[in-house]
């Protein structure tokens, strides 16, 4: 068909990030190529995630369109999307009510993006990391059972590249290979719910490296563990893949529980 496989991400960053968008509402910008309602959606969603719109607060459509200088339909669309994420509920006569965070659809990539951009970044980061710890070993086991031949070969290749890059000092290249490794495992796991997490994992890994949170000792043990994961998957040994991946995540686990 006409769906080029080149664009293979787009899960977490629907738009090219707010590169130029200031915090100002900029009420009059009708000639924007980016959809008009996306701007409002981002603004309101981020406001809710950051806590500026606390739970229980009541908004109204008219307030929204006045605030952002948009029409009723746009405000309505925004509200509908937010309602889908369970960030708000809309009732007649009561308006739009911001919901408690415990009700949010915290797996929505857009919501994750907003939360990672907000003050509560650390909380979101910790949750995602713990999710990684839970999912990735089982995903590795699934990959050992269900990955395709090409995927197995590519995993072994990536593990070798990781080992090579770990000895050098190129952080960026190492990060890219690391992300590719973990993403490929998730996508090869044969479980679409695991595969759907690949965007989040890459955000977490990127964030970890960028923040310098990662104690950048690509220690031999960790690299060796990566290699064993790939080898176990290639051999179709699910149990070994799972336990090796647990070892990979061991230092991550230690770092996380130190904070908590």
- Which chain residues interact with a second copy by CB under 8 A? 1, 3, 11, 56, 73, 76-77, 80-81, 84-86, 100-110, 126-128, 130-131, 133-135, 137-139, 142, 145-146, 190-196, 257, 260
Cα–Cα distance for residue pair 78/87, rounded to 1 Å: 11
Q: How many CA atoms lie within 13 A of 249 on its CB side?
A: 25
Q: Is 56 a binder of DNA (CB under 7 A)?
A: no
Tokens of 232: 């176990």
Nearest to 79 by CA among 100, 64, 94, 99: 64
> Smallest distance, Å, CB 67 to DNA?
12
81 binding partner (options a second copy, DNA, none; Cβ < 5 to 8 Å by kind):
a second copy
> Smallest distance, Å, CB 235 to a second copy?
17
Show Cβ contacts of residue 190 under 8 Å, excluding neighbours closer than 6 positions. Answer: 142, 143, 145, 146, 147
Nearer to DNA, 59 or 214 (CB): 59
Inter-residue contact 233 to 143 (CB < 8 Å): yes
Q: Is 17 a binder of DNA (CB under 7 A)?
A: no
Scanning 54-62, 142-150, 212-220, 247-255 for contacts with DNA by CB under 7 A, the matching segment is: 54-62
CA distances from 87 to 64, 167, 174, 188, 227 (A): 15, 45, 37, 32, 42
Q: Which residues bind DNA (CB under 7 A)?
A: 30-31, 33, 35-37, 59-62, 70-74, 76-77, 79, 90-96
């Amino acid at each position: 068909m006409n769906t080029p496989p080149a664009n293979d991400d787009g899960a977490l960053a629907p738009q090219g990030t707010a590169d130029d968008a200031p915090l100002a509402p900029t009420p009059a910008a009708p000639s924007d190529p980016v959809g008009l309602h996306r701007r409002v959606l981002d603004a309101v969603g981020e406001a809710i995630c950051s806590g500026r719109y606390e739970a229980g607060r009541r908004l109204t459509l008219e307030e929204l369109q006045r605030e952002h200088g948009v029409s009723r339909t746009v405000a309505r669309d925004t509200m509908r999307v937010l309602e889908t994420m369970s960030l708000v509920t809309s009732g007649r006569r009561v308006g739009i009510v911001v919901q408690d965070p415990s009700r949010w659809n915290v797996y929505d990539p857009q919501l994750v993006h907003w939360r990672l951009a907000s003050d509560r970044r650390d909380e979101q980061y910790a949750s995602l990391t713990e999710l990684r710890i839970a999912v990735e070993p089982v995903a590795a086991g699934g990959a050992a059972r269900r990955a395709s031949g090409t995927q197995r070969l590519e995993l072994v290749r990536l593990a070798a590249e990781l080992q090579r890059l770990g000895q050098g000092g190129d952080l960026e290249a190492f990060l890219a290979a690391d992300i590719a490794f973990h993403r490929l495992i998730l996508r090869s796991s044969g479980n679409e719910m695991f595969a759907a997490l690949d965007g989040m994992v890459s955000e977490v890994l990127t964030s970890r490296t960028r923040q310098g949170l990662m104690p950048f000792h690509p220690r031999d043990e960790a690299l060796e563990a990566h290699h064993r994961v790939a080898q176990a998957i290639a051999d179709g040994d699910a149990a070994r893949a799972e336990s090796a991946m647990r070892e990979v995540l061991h230092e991550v686990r230690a770092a996380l529980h130190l904070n908590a």
